[in-house]
Structure 1
Amino acid sequence: MYEIWLALNILWEMALTVWPLILGAIVLWLVLMVMAWRSPGSRWHAGLPVALLAALIVGVAAFVALPGQSRSSFADMGYWVDWLNLLAMAAGFGGIAAAFVWPLAAMARKTGLRREAA
């Protein structure tokens, strides 16, 4: 249990160092959500597969890239907490990607925008 608490404290301290970036991302996400919500013909359900695909791609890329960002490797990860943290961070990056892509995909897949043949 101590390891989990330590990991949460480390994440909190890391978040404190980049709080303006986090705040900006939250504001940008809220703007995207409002734009998609107010946009006529947005298809939320049709945008979900695109968002999930983006989450999968970003999550896998983060899983592979994150150990190298800390000058580590998969061989150095011998403890279950290391793997759990890596999976959680990769899932977090994937979730953030899905959160940003979903409103954009919903707006891009609007209904009623087909061109009529002249």
Structure 2
Amino acid sequence: MYEIWLALNIVWETVLTVWPAVLQGALVWLALMVLALRRRGVDWRGGFKLALGAAVAVGIAGVLWLPGATRSSLGEMAYWVDWANLLAIAAGFGAVALAFAWPLAALTRRPRH
């Protein structure tokens, strides 16, 4: 249980150091959502399928990229918490990719009539 709280504390402290970028990203996402919601005939369902593919690709890339980015490797991950953290962070990257790609993909698809 200690490891989980430690991981959450690390995430919180990391966000505190980059909060202006997180705020800017949230504002860009909000602007995309408002733009997509105001446009008529946006194909949300078709856009979700495309965005989900992008999110899965980003998540897989995150699993492969993150250990090297932290000067580690997949071979050094022996503890279940290491794997849980890696998968959670990669899933977070995928979720952020989905959040941005969905309104963009929905906006770029041909409007339904």
Task: Measure how far apart 1:40 and its partner are.
Answer: 1.5
Give 1 or 2 for the bigger CA radius of gyration. 1
Match of 2:40 in 1: 40
103-112 vs 9-18, which moves further: 103-112
Residues matched between the structures, number: 113
Task: Measure how far apart 1:50 and its partner are.
Answer: 0.5
39-48 vs 80-89, which moves further: 39-48
Provide the rounded CA distance (Å) in 1 between the counterparts of 2:112 and 2:3.
53
Provide the rounded CA distance (Å) in 2 between the counterparts of 1:93 and 1:58.
7
Match of 1:81 in 2: 81
Task: Measure how far apart 1:107 and its partner are.
Answer: 0.9
Provide the rounded CA distance (Å) in 2 between the counterparts of 1:89 and 1:75.
18
Provide the rounded CA distance (Å) in 2 between the counterparts of 1:101 and 1:30.
13
Match of 1:101 in 2: 101
Letter aligned with residue 7 of structure 2? A
Task: Measure how far apart 1:110 and its partner are.
Answer: 3.3
Instruction: Give runs of ≥4 in structure 1 deviating > 3 Å.
Output: none
Provide the rounded CA distance (Å) in 1 between the counterparts of 2:99 and 2:39.
17
Q: In 1, are the aligned partners of 2:47 and 2:103 still within 8 Å (CA)?
A: yes
With normalisation by structure 1, the TM-score equals: 0.92
Does 1:57 find its partner at 2:53? no
Task: State the superposition RMSD in angstroms.
Answer: 1.1
Task: Measure how far apart 1:112 and its partner are.
Answer: 5.1
Provide the rounded CA distance (Å) in 2 between the counterparts of 1:112 and 1:77.
48
Unaligned runs of 5+ in 1: 114-118
Match of 2:19 in 1: 19
Provide, for residues 20-78 of structure 1, a one-character-per-residue CA deviation record: whole Å limited to 9, x for no partner: 01000000000000000001211111101111000011000010000011100011111
With normalisation by structure 2, the TM-score equals: 0.96
Match of 2:5 in 1: 5
Provide, for residues 87-116 of structure 1, a one-character-per-residue CA deviation record: whole Å limited to 9, x for no partner: 000000001001101001111113258xxx
